[in-house]
């Protein structure tokens, strides 16, 4: 129990610093701390495979991608803080978040969850058990998640498509200018 609290505090510190530190690279490093903390929680919950996958996939692969993008995009640029248009909303948000978060934390810490009605099988958390669960009772959800990922892939393709003429931006073309005009305009 104490271990979970320590890991939780470490993860919270990491998560807060992802948001508040000024350098994007530091944010990415803080995010690695969060994912590793999550992996440790998986370990405590006997989900060894998930813990390993978490470290390999998130800390290993995805964070490296993040760091690549961050270094490529923001090299030598000063980060500007966006102006706060609604005065006081930041403080209101922080205070509300703290009150709700602390309230939930106290409730969860003082009231332990109910015990599972059926005992876990000996192989719980292993690769075999995970596979049996995913391809057995939870197959519908696995299929749903697969379709969600497919949607994500389509989304990247759609939103990054180079501008074709038939996707004309309404802001650039005054009304009455036909697509053909715009195309010829572009060729000149």
Partner 1 sequence: MRYLIPEVVVAGGALLALLAIVLVPKAKSLGSWIVLLALLAAGIDAATMWHVTASLFMSNTLAIDQYSILVTELVLLAGVSSLLLAWDADRFGDEFPVLLALSVLGMMALGAAANLMVIFIGIELLSLPLYILAASSRTQAGGEAALKYLLLGAFSSGILLFGMALLYGATSTLSFVAYPSITSANTWLLWPGLALVLVGISFKLAIVPFHMWVPDVYEGSPTPVTNLMAFGTKVGAAVILLRLLAFGFYTQDGSWGTLIGYLAVLTMIVGNLLALPQMSLKRLLGYSGIGHAGFLLVGIATHSVEGAEAMMFYLLPYGLAVMAVFGVLRLIEGNGDEVTVGDLKGMAYRRPWLAAVLIVGMLSFAGIPLTGGFVGKFFLLQAALFASQPGLAVGIVVGTLVGLFAYLRPLQTMFQRTEPSEKVQKVRWTVASVVVLTVAVVGTIGLGVYPEPFVHIVSHSADFYWLTGG
* Side-chain half-sphere CA neighbours of 98 within 13 A: 7
Interface with partner 1 includes 88 (CB under 8 A)?
no
Q: Which residues contact 55 (CB under 8 A, 6 or more apart)?
A: 35, 36, 39
The answer to whether 27 and 14 have CB atoms below 8 angstroms apart is: no
- In the bound complex, what is the minimum distance in angstroms from residue 104's beta carbon to partner 1? 6
| 16 or 56: CB nearest partner 1 | 16
Interface with partner 1 includes 1 (CB under 8 A)?
no
Token pair belonging to 51: 């813990």
Provide the residue count of the chain.
Answer: 188
Count of residues that bind partner 1 according to CB under 8 A: 40
Token pair belonging to 88: 């006081």
- In the bound complex, what is the minimum distance in angstroms from residue 113's beta carbon to partner 1? 3
Interface with partner 1 includes 167 (CB under 8 A)?
yes
| 87 or 160: CB nearest partner 1 | 160
What is the sign of the dihedral through the CA atoms of 158, 163, 167 and 172? positive
What are the E-state strand segments in the chain?
none
| 64 or 108: CB nearest partner 1 | 108
**Considering only residues 96-155, where is the footprint of partner 1 by CB under 8 A?**
103-104, 107-108, 110-117, 136-141, 143-145, 147-148, 150-152, 154-155
Considering only 2, 75, 158, 180, the residue that binds partner 1 (CB under 8 A) is 158
Euclidean distance between CA atoms 52 and 63, whole angstroms: 15
The residues that touch partner 1, with contacts defined as CB under 8 A, are 103-104, 107-108, 110-117, 136-141, 143-145, 147-148, 150-152, 154-155, 157-159, 161, 163, 166-171, 175
């Amino acid at each position: 129990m104490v271990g979970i609290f320590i890991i939780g505090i470490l993860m919270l510190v990491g998560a807060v610093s992802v948001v508040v530190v000024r350098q994007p690279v530091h944010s990415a490093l803080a995010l690695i701390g969060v994912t590793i903390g999550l992996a440790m929680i998986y370990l405590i919950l006997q989900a060894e495979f998930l813990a390993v996958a978490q470290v390999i996939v998130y800390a290993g692969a995805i964070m490296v991608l993040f760091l690549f993008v961050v270094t490529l995009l923001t090299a030598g640029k000063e980060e500007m803080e966006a102006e706060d248009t609604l005065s006081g909303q930041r403080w209101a948000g922080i205070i509300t978040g703290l009150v709700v978060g602390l309230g939930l934390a106290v409730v969860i810490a003082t009231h332990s969850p109910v015990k599972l009605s059926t005992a876990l099988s000996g192989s719980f958390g292993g690769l075999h058990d995970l596979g049996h669960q995913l391809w057995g009772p939870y197959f519908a959800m696995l299929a749903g998640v697969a379709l969600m990922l497919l949607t994500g892939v389509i989304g990247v393709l759609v939103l990054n498509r180079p501008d074709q003429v038939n996707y004309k931006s309404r802001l650039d073309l005054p009304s009455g200018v036909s697509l053909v005009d715009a195309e010829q305009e572009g060729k000149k």
